[in-house]
Amino acid sequence: MPRQIAALSAGTLYGAKLGFLIATAATISGCMLTFIACRYCLGNWVYQRFPDKTKVIHGFLASSTFTKALTIRILPLGSNFMTNIVAGATNIPFAPYVAGSALGFVPQMVIFSLAGAGMQLAAGTQQQLTLVLTGLALGLMVMLYIQHKRKLQAKKKLSQG
């Protein structure tokens, strides 16, 4: 189940705080279980079926795993389930991946739990929270872009000299 639906449903059923905790715990557990199942049971099959995507994900997440997992999760792009499956098929470290993912899940889980509880998302506090989270996501994207450019420049210098 998409994490947004889990948070919205849990917020509706249990209120914002408890709904947030339940949905976040379920999302993190699902992330861990999918990653582990793929790493130890389905990794070879995923790699054989999607070698190019697996190599790309591994290349991206192999360094600065925590920061990159955090960024991926803050930005609601792609499928969390598929990301966990492909990440599990790589050799990236488990703990930084899950920790970055868990922290990255929080902003959307808060927003959707609040929405599920019937709170107004347009209230001043929620608008400020949205701006802060957007700024954080943009800052992480800029940081990753700068790191990527530096690596490319370093590789170019090595190949030339």
Domain assignment of residue 126, yes or no: no
Domain assignment of residue 36, yes or no: yes
Domain assignment of residue 54, yes or no: yes
Largest CA distance in the chain: 63
Domain assignment of residue 101, yes or no: yes
Angstrom distance (rounded) from CA 47 to CA 61: 16
The answer, yes or no, to whether residue 161 has pLDDT greater than 70, is no
* Among 90, 97, 81, CA closest to 54: 90
Number of domains in the chain: 1
- pLDDT at residue 124 in the model: 62
- Contact indicator for 46, 89 with CB cutoff of 8 Å: yes
Angstrom distance (rounded) from CA 137 to CA 145: 12
pLDDT by residue (tens digit) across 18-71?
Answer: 999 999 999 999 999 999 999 999 888 988 888 888 888 888 888 899 998 998
pTM: 0.73
* Angle (nearest 5°) at CA 21 between 15 and 22: 85
